[in-house]
Amino acid sequence: MIFPAADRFLERLGKAYGRLLVTIVDGCVRFSGAVLLFFLVALAASVYFVVGHFAINTDTSNALSRDLPFQQREAAYKKAFPQDHDSIVVVIQGQSRSATDDAVDRLEGWLRAHRETFPQVYVPGGGSFFRRNGLLYLPTAQVEEFAKRITDAQPLIARLSADPSIGGLSTLLSQAIDHELSGGSSLSGLTKVYGALNGAILANLQGKPYTVSWAELMGGKLGDLGPSKRFVIIQPAMNYQALEPAAAAIHSLRAGLHSLQLDPAHGVQVGITGSAVLDAEQLQTVSHGAAFSLILTFILEILLVSIALRSVRLVTAVFVSLISGIAFTTAWALFFIGPFNLISIAFAILFVGLGVDFGIQFCMRYREELFNGAPHREAISLVTRGIGAALTLAAVAAALSFFAFVPTTYAGIVDLGLVSGGSMLIALFLTITMVPAILTAWPISASSLRRVTYPHFRKVPTLARHPIHRYAYWVLGAVVLLALAAIPAALRVSFDFNPLHMIDKKAEGVRVFESLLADPDTAPYRIEVLRPNLAGALATARRLDSVPTVARTLTIDSYIPKDQPAKLAILQNLQILVPPFSLLMPATLTRPDDQKSLADLEKLQTKLQELIHRDTDASKGSKPSAELIAARQLSASLARFLPAARQDPARIQALQESVLGTLPGELKKLGEALMASPVTVDTLPKDLRERYLNARGQARVEVFPKENLDSNRKMLEFVRSVQRVVPDAVGTPVMLIEGGEAVLSAFRQATFTALISISLLLLLALRRYRDMLLIMGPLMLAALFTVAAMSLFGLSFNLGNIIVLPLLIGLGVAFAIYLVLRWRSGVDVAHLLQTSTPMAVFFSGLTTLSAFGSLALSSDPGMASLGKALSLALAMVLLSILVVLPALLLIFTHSPQEEGMAADEGS
């Protein structure tokens, strides 16, 4: 008992509130028509307002408080270098570097022609600057080797320029074979040319796209001056008022890729990822999953409530109030709070799961009073007196568990707390006003009343003949042992802070993103460091290069080639030795003469046979040379191609395009590469320079990890090792680590806030420490068992399901209150378990479990994890409330009366 004076005051206050409830409910019964008319008008107005003002703010950048230190550092960095925020990354890989470069160039041109949808486009390593100066980024030895290969290839290209056709290439190869058969040396690179022509012929026969890479033929491996994959980074126009802000841009991009024929069918592998794409994919799966879960929830709840209430009128009253509550809550939230966010919109499913509880409690108690012989109005009054206080405490406790989110730094969930907390109070108001009015306007008929066989659950032995009153101490002993065993498992539960693990793994953006993560050169999880000037950035980069978890660092200085004078001298000498091929070769190829081309190819086939025959005889007893193997393969392919080309001459044109189509462009690029000039920071492309050095002189350091950061442990090691050297580091990995800790801290705060506030509420309402502890004790056990079960089932806490612990407290208190207050009214435990109260709790739990279970079946991994965690929590709450709590109540029942139970057992 609390202080006597306070106890008397609270007792008087409780009685006054009880009288107020009776007056309100009685008024709704007496003036049911007017009350329903009022709600009908209010519902119509709410729906009209919602339709005209409904909006969702899908910008996730403000999910955490901007006052957090790491958020302030991130904001400062994004202000200095805003280019990569909400980006789309297109990953392109063709069959060769030439095909890849061509695809990138075509896509870049298309994007720049649609600036209204794609305001900013950046192509790393693209543009005229890198075509002109790309060779300077190679080691000096490789530049020398490249120059040698180009010099060796000069006769081949010079002679081919006189007749740039498939027939001209065939004639050139035939002459080279003649020269070799007559005792001359083999033409440099002939084996590679055989292989390229053979590949083109085979693709032609199979109807597949193929492009010969002349850059590789001329320069070998050095022809690939960049990575095999190329990237196009896009900042799309975002519409944060739409459910999927980047949807229009992504749809437009996919249409553009289709129109440009950039797809596997045309020899180009294209993947789309980036923050905008990942967010869009998650929003899409969340919206589809939420719609599925909401529909399934309604179906299951209608079924369960129908089983529990056995009356169309009662079921109708519950669901009319439930649907009205969603509409009123939505209108209230839009008017007072503003647009929903991606978290607060989840209130609808939570409301359906939790709000139905009040209606079930009210209606099942109403059925009990009717069964006991009370007429309608008296039954409603008895329900109000018997359960009004419990409903109020349950609603306020549930609201407090939601309002506990409000003081936290997790700004994204503050709105959910306000909306869902308010919705619990709205649900309470509708239960004590609308439900009695509906039951009065549409009363249970005499025939329906005769069919009421309360308690219809006598056939359920686990509840109707509950053995707790006999085995209370055994039950509590077993619970204590289970709790001790659960502690080690609970301590092993983990928290997964990575939102990538909450997105469907089959989504394209996730698949592409994970493939990039696996390669240190393309890892999208990078740490960024902002420095006031370039000198500071260079000093920071040098320090970070020695960190074991760091693969490399990039600054603007990284794009200044080393040993430039020596490389420029090699290229200048090459300009003297090699004529300007781009002037010799026409810009486009002329259509081949089909008959002449066939004749030239047939002649090449004959010469190949002569070469094969000679070399086969010469190589008897030894391993055949690479040239001989390539010649055999080409000869075999020509034997198949020539008959097909005679029947379909169009194959000649297609083969020429496949073999020689890129040659003019490659020669043009070669000409540009030979015109390289000294590179300085000032001569770097503007879009590249602005990504590492802004107009205010601030410099950026980009830090790449050595390990695949798909592992949370490795990401944590990477971030912490860098932070030890550079505490002010930012970037996605830092945001995930620091943000995850901030979210975890916020929910610890919310859990303790809910625990303390609800405990105080119970203490004030019940005015007994014992009774407050009777309610809170089983809930602590439920929380322990929930965490232990999650650990045993391999279910981690994450950014989606971490709300489970504060909600568990609110849910459990709501259910426990009904039993404790019924017990306090003078019903001993043996008889308490035969009343409507435990069955109402049971069915309320089942209906809520159906809502959470439907979430668990969602296609969205984040929503599914929330459903699984909430389902586990609710199952543990029901076990604690229906098993542990009655056992505790029995201990505090001084003289348990079992006559009723004994009579039932003897009958």
- What is the reported pLDDT for 770? 85
Residue type, 319: F
Q: Are 740 and 403 in contact (CB under 8 A)?
A: no
Place of tokens 């003002």: 53
For Cα atoms 733, 736, 737, give the angle at the middle one, nearest 5 degrees.
Answer: 85
Tell me how far apart the alpha carbons of residues 475 and 192 are, in angstroms, rounded to a whole number. 81
- What is the reported pLDDT for 703? 96
Tell me how far apart the alpha carbons of residues 870 and 804 are, in angstroms, rounded to a whole number. 6
For residue 169, what are its two tokens? 């290439």
Place of tokens 């120059």: 147
Helix (H) or strand (E) holding 850: helix 836-856
Q: Are 225 and 137 in contact (CB under 8 A)?
A: yes
Q: Return phi, psi of residue 17, to 5°.
A: -65, -40
Tell me how far apart the alpha carbons of residues 251 and 820 are, in angstroms, rounded to a whole number. 57
pLDDT average, residue stretch 584-607: 80
- What is the reported pLDDT for 226? 52
Q: Identify the CA nearest to 466 among candidates 823, 831, 825.
A: 831
Q: What share of the chain has pLDDT > 90, as a percent?
A: 35
**Residue-wise pLDDT tens digits, 815-870:** 888 888 888 887 777 777 777 788 888 888 888 888 778 878 877 787 888 888 98
> How many beta carbons lie within 10 A of that of residue 141, not counting itself?
8
The sign of the dihedral angle between the CA atoms of 114, 116, 117, 120 is positive
For the chain, counts of helices (H) and of strands (E): 36, 12
Q: Is the link from the previous residue into 455 a cis peptide, with omega within 30 of 0?
A: yes
DSSP 457: T
- Strand-pairing partners, residue 731, are 527
- What is the reported pLDDT for 578? 66
- What is the reported pLDDT for 716? 94
**Residue-wise pLDDT tens digits, 127-168:** 889 888 988 988 998 888 888 877 877 777 777 777 788 888
Q: Are 290 and 327 in contact (CB under 8 A)?
A: no
pLDDT average, residue stretch 324-341: 91
pLDDT average, residue stretch 586-593: 69
Confidence check: pLDDT of 582 > 60: no
Distances (CA, A) of 556 to 76, 600, 681, 715, 785: 19, 53, 7, 25, 54
- Strand-pairing partners, residue 89, are 233, 273
Query: Where along the chain do its domains lie?
Result: 4-59+281-497+737-906, 69-79+500-560+680-704+711-736, 88-132+227-273, 150-186+194-205+600-673
**Residue-wise pLDDT tens digits, 481-518:** 999 999 999 999 999 988 888 888 888 889 999 888 88
Confidence check: pLDDT of 425 > 90: yes
**Residue-wise pLDDT tens digits, 529-564:** 999 999 999 999 999 999 999 999 999 999 999 999
pLDDT average, residue stretch 291-309: 81
Q: Identify the CA nearest to 441 among candidates 316, 619, 303.
A: 316
Sorting pLDDT into bands at 50, 70 and 90, what band is 904? very low
Q: Are 833 and 886 in contact (CB under 8 A)?
A: yes
Confidence check: pLDDT of 3 > 50: yes
DSSP 173: H
Sorting pLDDT into bands at 50, 70 and 90, what band is 213? confident
Tell me how far apart the alpha carbons of residues 192 and 603 are, in angstroms, rounded to a whole number. 20
> How many beta carbons lie within 10 A of that of residue 319, not counting itself?
17
For residue 402, what are its two tokens? 């939601």
Question: Judging by DSSP bridges, how do beta strands 550-554 and 527-531 pair with one another?
Answer: unpaired
Residue 127 φ/ψ region, left for φ over 0, alpha for ψ in the -120 to 50 degree band, beta for the rest: left
Tell me how far apart the alpha carbons of residues 283 and 303 are, in angstroms, rounded to a whole number. 30
Helix axes 804-824, 836-856, angle to 10 degrees: 170
In 3-state terms, what secondary structure has residue 260?
coil
Lowest mean pLDDT among 102-106, 768-772, 903-907: 903-907
b/e 396-405 (16+ beta carbons within 10 angstroms → b): bbbbbbbbbb
Tell me how far apart the alpha carbons of residues 21 and 407 are, in angstroms, rounded to a whole number. 31
Helix (H) or strand (E) holding 19: helix 4-30
Helix (H) or strand (E) holding 283: helix 275-309
Distances (CA, A) of 188 to 148, 170, 548: 11, 16, 45
Tell me how far apart the alpha carbons of residues 855 and 688 are, in angstroms, rounded to a whole number. 45
- What is the reported pLDDT for 220? 54
Burial class (CB in 10 A: 0-12, 13-18, 19+), 607: buried
CA 435 to chain CA mean position, Å: 41
Tell me how far apart the alpha carbons of residues 505 and 859 are, in angstroms, rounded to a whole number. 11
For residue 51, what are its two tokens? 């339709």
Q: Are 703 and 529 in contact (CB under 8 A)?
A: yes
- What is the reported pLDDT for 694? 92
pLDDT average, residue stretch 653-668: 83
For residue 575, what are its two tokens? 């300009």
Lowest mean pLDDT among 63-67, 177-181, 354-358: 63-67
pLDDT average, residue stretch 656-679: 83
Tell me how far apart the alpha carbons of residues 780 and 742 are, in angstroms, rounded to a whole number. 24
Tell me how far apart the alpha carbons of residues 701 and 527 are, in angstroms, rounded to a whole number. 8
Helix axes 650-660, 190-206, angle to 10 degrees: 140
Q: What share of the chain has pLDDT > 70, as a percent?
A: 90
Q: Return phi, psi of residue 94, to 5°.
A: -95, -175
Q: Identify the CA nearest to 557 among candidates 527, 534, 531, 526.
A: 534
- pLDDT, mean over the chain: 84
Tell me how far apart the alpha carbons of residues 370 and 444 are, in angstroms, rounded to a whole number. 10
- What is the reported pLDDT for 843? 84
Place of tokens 């740490």: 527
**Residue-wise pLDDT tens digits, 216-253:** 776 655 445 555 688 999 999 988 767 678 889 999 99
Tell me how far apart the alpha carbons of residues 184 and 176 are, in angstroms, rounded to a whole number. 9
Tell me how far apart the alpha carbons of residues 332 and 426 are, in angstroms, rounded to a whole number. 10
> How many beta carbons lie within 10 A of that of residue 100, not counting itself?
24
**Residue 197, CA atoms < 13 Å, CB-side half-sphere:** 28
**Which of 3.40.50.880, 3.40.50.150, 3.30.70.1430, 3.20.20.70 would CATH assign to domain 88-132+227-273?**
3.30.70.1430
- What is the reported pLDDT for 899? 37
pLDDT average, residue stretch 769-787: 90
Confidence check: pLDDT of 268 > 70: yes
**Which of 1.10.3720.10, 1.10.1740.110, 1.20.1640.10, 1.10.10.1800 would CATH assign to domain 4-59+281-497+737-906?**
1.20.1640.10
Lowest mean pLDDT among 320-324, 366-370, 448-452, 529-533: 448-452
Place of tokens 């106890």: 7
Alpha-helical segments (H) within 504-649: 508-517, 534-544, 564-577, 581-584, 594-618, 626-647
As a residue count, the chain comes to: 907
The sign of the dihedral angle between the CA atoms of 573, 577, 581, 582 is positive
Confidence check: pLDDT of 603 > 50: yes
| E-assigned strand segments in 685-825 | 699-705, 730-731, 797-798
The sign of the dihedral angle between the CA atoms of 186, 189, 191, 196 is negative
- What is the reported pLDDT for 357? 85
Tell me how far apart the alpha carbons of residues 487 and 489 are, in angstroms, rounded to a whole number. 5
Confidence check: pLDDT of 38 > 60: yes
pLDDT average, residue stretch 646-662: 88
Distances (CA, A) of 523 to 82, 84, 96: 19, 14, 22
Is 216 or 726 the better-scoring residue by pLDDT?
Answer: 726
Q: Identify the CA nearest to 156 among candidates 693, 663, 620, 594.
A: 663
> How many beta carbons lie within 10 A of that of residue 600, not counting itself?
23
Confidence check: pLDDT of 907 > 70: no
Question: Taking the chain, what is the end-to-end CA distance rounded to the nearest angstrom?
Answer: 42
Distances (CA, A) of 554 to 528, 540, 557: 10, 11, 8
Q: Identify the CA nearest to 334 among candidates 54, 657, 129.
A: 54
What is the rounded radius of gyration, in angstroms, for the C-alpha atoms of the chain? 38
In 3-state terms, what secondary structure has residue 340?
strand
Place of tokens 């794409």: 277
Secondary-structure percent of the chain, ordered helix, strand, coil, rounded to 5: 70, 5, 25
Lowest mean pLDDT among 18-27, 588-597, 632-641: 588-597
Confidence check: pLDDT of 450 > 80: no
